[in-house]
Structure 1
Amino acid sequence: MAQPSQPAQDQTRFDVAEFIDARPIGRREILLLFVCASVLFIDGFDMYFFGKILPAIAEGLNAEPAEMRDVIFWTYVGMAVGAFTMPPLADRIGRRPVLALCAFGFGALSIAGAFAQTVTQMAVLRGISGIFFSAMLPIGLSLLSEMTPKRKRAFFMALALIFFSTGSAASGVVAAWLLDLYGWQIGFWVGGVLGFIAVPLLWLVPESLAFRVSRNPKDPKIATTIRKLDASQPIYGGEAFYLGDIKPRLAGEAKAGPLTLLRPPYLLQTLILWCACFLALGNIAMLANWLPTFFQEMGGIPIQEFAILAMISFAGGAAGTLTMGFLLDRLNPYWLITAFFLIDAAALYAMGILPFGTGAFLIAMIAWQYTQIGGQTGINTLATLGYPPEIRSSGIGWAGGWGRIAGIIIPAWAGSKALEMALGLETVMGLIALPALAVAVLVFLLGVANGGKIGAHSRAPEPEPVPAE
Structure 2
Amino acid sequence: MTRIDIEAFVDQQKVGRHHLIVLLVCGLVCFIDGFDMFMIGKIAPAIAEGFGEPPEAMANLFVWQQIGLAVGAFAVSPLADRFGRRNMLMLSCALFGAITLASVRAETLTQLTILRTLAGVFMAAGLPMALAMISEVTPAYRRASFIALSLVGYSSGNASSGGVAAWLLDIYGWQSAFWIGGVAPLLCIPLLYFFVPESLKFRAERNPHDSSIGKTMRKMDPALEVPEDAVFVLGEGKGTKARKAKLSDIFTEGRTLMTCVIWAACLLSMTSIALTSQWLPTFFQEMAGIPIQQFAVSALIGYMGSIAGTLLIGYLMDRFRATRMIPLFYLGLFLAYLGISWVSFEAGIFVVLLVAFNFLQTGGQAGLNTLITKVYPPRMRSTALGWAGGAGRVGGVLAPFYGGYAVAQEFSLQLALGLAAGVPLAVACLVLVLGRVIKTGKAELAPEASRV
Shared topology, TM-score over 0.5?
A: yes
For 1:229 and 1:139, how far apart are their aligned partners in 2? Answer: 22
1:140 corresponds to 2:103? no
Q: Deviations over 1:214-270 (max 9, x none)?
A: 1111122212211222222101212011011362343xx763412121123211110
Partner of 1:390: 379
Residues 30-429 of structure 1 aligned to structure 2 (within 5 Å): 30-203=20-193, 204-245=195-236, 247-250=238-241, 255-411=244-400, 413-429=401-417
For 1:243 and 1:390, how far apart are their aligned partners in 2? Answer: 10
Q: Deviations over 1:428-466 (max 9, x none)?
A: 01111111000000001111222399x982269xxxxxx
Q: Is the 8 A contact 2:82 2:244 kept in 1?
A: no
Q: Is the 8 A contact 1:90 1:393 kept in 2?
A: yes
TM-score (norm 1): 0.93
Q: Is the 8 A contact 2:267 2:393 kept in 1?
A: yes
Q: Is the 8 A contact 1:265 1:457 kept in 2?
A: no
For 2:273 and 2:26, how far apart are their aligned partners in 1? Answer: 22
Q: Is the 8 A contact 1:104 1:196 kept in 2?
A: yes
Q: CA deviation at 1:366?
A: 1.0
Gaps of 5+ in 2: none
Q: Secondary structure at the match of 2:225?
A: coil
For 2:114 and 2:147, how far apart are their aligned partners in 1? Answer: 33
For 1:120 and 1:49, how far apart are their aligned partners in 2? Answer: 18
For 1:106 and 1:115, how far apart are their aligned partners in 2? Answer: 15
For 2:146 and 2:440, how far apart are their aligned partners in 1? Answer: 21
Q: Is the 8 A contact 1:61 1:119 kept in 2?
A: yes
For 2:10 and 2:124, how far apart are their aligned partners in 1? Answer: 28
Q: Secondary structure at the match of 2:4?
A: strand
Which amino acid letter does the alignment assign opposite residue 286 of structure 1?
Answer: L
Q: Is the 8 A contact 1:450 1:456 kept in 2?
A: no
Pick which of 228-237 and 284-293 moved more: 228-237
Q: Secondary structure at the match of 1:14?
A: strand
Q: Deviations over 1:305-344 (max 9, x none)?
A: 1111111112211111111011112222111100100000
Q: Is the 8 A contact 2:205 2:243 kept in 1?
A: no
For 1:326 and 1:452, how far apart are their aligned partners in 2? Answer: 26
Shift in alpha-carbon separation, 1:142–1:290, aligned structure 2, 3 A: same
For 1:452 and 1:150, how far apart are their aligned partners in 2? Answer: 23
Fraction of identical pairs, as percent:
44
Q: CA deviation at 1:287?
A: 0.7
For 1:245 and 1:257, how far apart are their aligned partners in 2? Answer: 23
Q: CA deviation at 1:197?
A: 0.7
Q: Is the 8 A contact 1:109 1:129 kept in 2?
A: yes
TM-score (norm 2): 0.96
Shift in alpha-carbon separation, 1:380–1:403, aligned structure 2, 3 A: same
Q: Secondary structure at the match of 2:421?
A: helix
**Moved beyond 4 Å, runs of 4+:** none
Which amino acid letter does the alignment assign opposite residue 104 of structure 2?
Answer: A
Which amino acid letter does the alignment assign opposite residue 94 of structure 1?
Answer: G
Q: Is the 8 A contact 2:142 2:318 kept in 1?
A: no
RMSD: 1.6
1:14 to 4, 8, 27: 4
Q: CA deviation at 1:357?
A: 2.9
Shift in alpha-carbon separation, 1:246–1:432, aligned structure 2, 3 A: farther
Q: CA deviation at 1:21?
A: 1.0
For 2:176 and 2:135, how far apart are their aligned partners in 1? Answer: 33
Higher helix share: 2
For 1:131 and 1:372, how far apart are their aligned partners in 2? Answer: 24
1:436 to 398, 411, 424: 424
Q: Is the 8 A contact 2:82 2:245 kept in 1?
A: no
Which amino acid letter does the alignment assign opposite residue 127 of structure 1?
Answer: T
Tell me how many residue pairs correspond in the alignment: 446
Which amino acid letter does the alignment assign opposite residue 410 of structure 2?
Answer: A
Q: Secondary structure at the match of 1:241?
A: strand
